[in-house]
Amino acid sequence: MIIGRNGSYDVQDIVRDFKKYSSVTICRLIENSGDSRKDWMLGVFSKAADSSNKHRKYKFWQNQYHPIELNTNEMMEQKLDYIHQNPVKAGIVEKEEEYVYSSARDYHGTGEGLLNIEFME
């Protein structure tokens, strides 16, 4: 994930809030789904929470994150390409712009992703 900030919010606070909101939302969606992997996924998240003092029911994200300041255009392009290529390398899609959860389609001009983005220039 590449994030930017405006104002006085610290990156660690943005990441914390993102992880909290997304983990609760995703786990609720899984709980209410009819997916055949539901019990397996929730079991994995529940087991991870058992070894945590912070989490009561499920633990979705790893504790740490490793922020890297993207202070050159070359670094920004490299990290964006890396993120866009992950679903291709995992064999999920053949072309990066085909992955619905990616901003690659925005950058390729083949459509809009699920989230509004601000283009990196």
What would the mean pLDDT of 12-35 be, rounded to a whole number?
Answer: 92
pLDDT bin (cut points 50, 70, 90) of residue 116 is confident
For the full predicted model, state whether its pTM sits above 0.75. Answer: no
Whole-number Å distance between alpha carbons of 40 and 79: 32
Q: Where are the domains of the chain?
A: 7-67, 68-121
pLDDT tens for 37-52 read 999 999 999 998 988 7
Amino acid at 69: E
pLDDT at 79: 93
User: Are the CB atoms for 83 and 2 separated by under 8 Å?
Assistant: yes
If you count DSSP H runs as helices and E runs as strands, how many of each does the chain have, helices first? 4, 0
pLDDT tens for 79-90 read 999 999 999 999
